[in-house]
Amino acid sequence: MENSIIFFDIDGTLIDEDKNVPRTTKEAIFQLKERGHEVAIATGRAPYMYEDLRKELDIHTYVSFNGQLVVVKDEVIYTNPLNKEALHLLTCMAKKHNHPIIYMDEYEMKANVLQHDFITESLNSLKLPVQASLDPNYYKGRDIFQSMLFIEEQEELLYEQTFKDFKFVRWHPLSVDIDPAGGSKAKGIEIVLRHLGYSMDQVYAFGDGLNDIEMLSFTPNSVAMGNAEPLTKKAAKYITKSVNEDGILHGIKMVGLL
């Protein structure tokens, strides 16, 4: 078989609810690499949120912030920051409604409030190695690749109708990612493929969340995890077992890579 490139989401795909990489997943990743395949990550996370995972799995090509920062073999090849003026207006509106925000660039994450239960609850679910410190003006004068807005589902429409420069993707009952309109993991993957010269039939993608739908729709050889959202499963060509039932190993075998 010719060499392929395989993109993996992180939460609920490469790692389980306890944020550990299942043993069979790790073994499968290294078997893929031994066979000459390129293993890459496509995630909504910032690079500093999964540095340890990249070291553990020896991965050097990754799409972060749902496609807004693309790194190939440890070199940044593409960035797509949020519109600065629109982000300022959104910040003003969020402040008026007491909705907290976290701003993220490639180096760190900063919150515009000191403490908020929505931030605590949703970020705790990720078990991150970093925390957001306070800097309400962090978005001013620098490139922000993604923000998190902490709102409940019924409050989402207000922002969606007001800010056409942004796309709002829910990742937790209390939080949405704010990405540039038109930005996605699929777009980030397309940039990697162009850079490395892979054709579409050499590309595979695994995911489980709502932010994986475009990636799985874009990739002909797409695999949704057994624990994936129903809409995400509909977007995939294959459905494997869940992350804690050796889903990655099962899926890799299912598509014929191992």
pLDDT score recorded for residue 1: 57
**Are residues 73 and 24 part of one domain?**
yes
Last residue of a domain, one of 140, 163, 180: 180
pLDDT tens per residue, range 30-82: 999 999 999 999 999 999 999 999 999 999 999 999 999 999 999 999 999 99
Measuring CA to CA, how many Å separate 152 from each of 113, 157, 214?
Answer: 17, 10, 23
| Cα distance between residue 192 and residue 212, in whole Å | 16
For residues 11, 163, 140 and 192, what is the CA-based torsion angle, rounded to 10 degrees?
A: 50
DSSP 204: E
CATH number for the domain that contains residue 15: 3.40.50.1000
206-233: average pLDDT = 97
- Region 181-201: mean pLDDT is 97
Overall domain count for the chain: 2
The reply to whether 70 and 119 lie within a common domain is no
Q: How far is residue 45 from each of residues 128, 194, 200, 216, 253, measured CA to CA in Å?
A: 10, 23, 25, 18, 27
Q: What is the 3-state secondary structure (H, E, C) of 52-87?
A: HHHHHHCCCCEEEHHHCEEEECCEEEEECCCCHHHH
pLDDT tens for each residue of 81-138: 999 999 999 999 999 999 999 999 999 999 999 999 999 999 999 988 888 999 999 9
Q: Which two tokens stand for residue 3?
A: 């060499």
Comparing CA positions, the residue from 170, 221, 192 lying closest to residue 44 is 170
Mind telling me the catalytic residues?
9
Q: Tell me: do 11 and 65 sit in the same domain.
A: yes
- Identify whether residues 104 and 128 lie together within a single domain: yes
Same domain as 174, residue 187: no
Boundary of a domain, candidates 180, 213, 238: 180
- With CA atoms as reference, report the closest residue to 232 among 251, 246, 249, 213: 213
CATH number at residue 170: 3.30.1240.10
Q: Please give the pLDDT value at position 130.
A: 84
Q: Are 72 and 194 in contact (CB under 8 A)?
A: no
Say yes or no: 175 and 133 in one domain: yes
Residues 16 and 36 in one domain: yes
132 and 63, same structural domain?
A: no
- Residues 28-41 have pLDDT tens digits of 999 999 999 999 99
Q: Do 176 and 187 reside in the same domain of the chain?
A: no
Q: Please give the average per-residue pLDDT across 236-240, as a whole number.
A: 98
Asked which of 180, 204, 229 is the last residue of a domain, the reply is 180
What is the domain extent for residue 142? 84-180
What value does the mean pLDDT of the chain take? Answer: 96
